[in-house]
Amino acid sequence: MNKIEEKAPLGVGVLVGIIMGSKSDLPVMQDAADICKEFGVEFEMTVVSAHRTPERMFTYAKDAASKGLKVIIAGAGGAAHLPGMVASITTLPVIGVPVKSSNSIDGWDSILSILQMPNGIPVATVALNAAKNAGLLAVQILATADDSLAQKMQVYKDDLRKKVEESAEEMSSQL
C-alpha cells in the first residue's frame, strides 16, 4: 500500500481522517499517523487538495461522518485553505496543522489561514508542523467517549511528567 494512503490495522473502524494538501506534506503529517498507531486508533491518510481537487475535498468532508470518522486532521501549507474548507462542510471536529512549505512566508501564511476562521466555522489549530500534537488532540477527543483510550492518554501524560521529574533530579544532582 502506498505510504500516503496508509491505514491502521482493521478493528472497530477508521475513526480519524488525516488529510493533506499535497504529498509534500507527508513528512510532517506522518507524526499524526504515528500517534494514532501508538494509541491503537484506526485512521486513514490521503491527499485532498482544496485548490487542485475541490470536488474530492467536498466529497471527503461531506462523507466523513457517514464513513464513521470522528475527527479530521487536515494539514496544509501556503494559503492553507484545506482545514477551514473541510470544517465548513462537515460537522466533525477538524484539527488544522499549518505546514511550513517551500513557497510559504516562513509558515505564517499557513498559520494565519488556519487560525483566522470566521465565527461558526471553528478549526482547532496546532503549532506550525505540529502534527504530533494534532494526533494527540484527536486521541483526547476520542478519549472523551472511550475509557480505555482515556487510560492510555493518562499513562502517556504520566510518562511525560516522569521524564521531566527525572530531568530535574538529574540536573539538580549535577549542581
pLDDT tens per residue, range 54-95: 999 999 999 999 999 999 999 999 999 999 999 999 999 999
Is a pLDDT exceeding 90 seen at residue 2?
A: no
Is a pLDDT exceeding 60 seen at residue 9?
A: no
Q: Which residues are annotated as a binding site?
A: 22, 25, 52
Could you report the per-residue pLDDT of 96-145, keeping only the tens digit for each?
999 998 888 999 999 999 999 999 999 999 999 999 999 999 999 999 99
Question: What are the strands, taking DSSP E only, across the chain?
Answer: 16-20, 43-47, 71-77, 94-99, 124-125
Could you report the per-residue pLDDT of 12-67, keeping only the tens digit for each?
699 999 999 999 999 999 999 999 999 999 999 999 999 999 999 999 999 999 99
Is a pLDDT exceeding 80 seen at residue 6?
A: no
Q: Which residues are annotated as a binding site for substrate?
A: 22, 25, 52
pTM of the predicted protein model: 0.91
Number of Cβ atoms within 10 Å of the Cβ of 116: 10
Please state, in angstroms and rounded to a whole number, the distance separating the CA atoms of residues 81 and 97.
11
Pick the CATH number of 3-144 from 3.90.550.10, 3.40.605.10, 3.40.50.2300, 3.40.50.1970: 3.40.50.1970
Domain residue ranges of the chain, discontinuous segments joined by +: 3-144, 148-175
